[in-house]
Amino acid sequence: MTGRYRGVALERMIGELVPYLRGWANYVGFSQWRELQSLDSWIRRRLRCVAWVQWNTRGKALP
């Protein structure tokens, strides 16, 4: 869902991720808080990669 070259807007990607992340966070709850922190940092890094690729390729024609 967080592929760098997926071809969807960042806002749409976040909108699709939110239900999954909320469900997973509610499922594990506070029992695995450290897992949630590492997942949060991983998701943020992936979204930064997507934002950077979209910013860098905006307006360029693909061959």
Q: Is residue 41 situated within a structural domain?
A: yes
CB burial of 16-29 (b: ≥16 within 10 Å; e: otherwise) equals: eeeeeeeeebeeee
Q: Is residue 3 situated within a structural domain?
A: no
Q: Is residue 40 situated within a structural domain?
A: yes
- The rounded distance, in Å, linking the Cα atoms of 5 and 23 is 26
Domain count, the chain: 1
Print the domain residue range for 31.
Answer: 10-53
Query: Residues of the chain with pLDDT > 70: what percent?
Result: 87
pLDDT score of 63 more than 60: no
Q: Is residue 60 situated within a structural domain?
A: no
Give the mean pLDDT of 26-38. Answer: 76
pLDDT in the model for residue 37? 80
pLDDT score of 62 more than 70: no
pLDDT in the model for residue 22? 87
pLDDT in the model for residue 23? 87
pLDDT score of 25 more than 50: yes
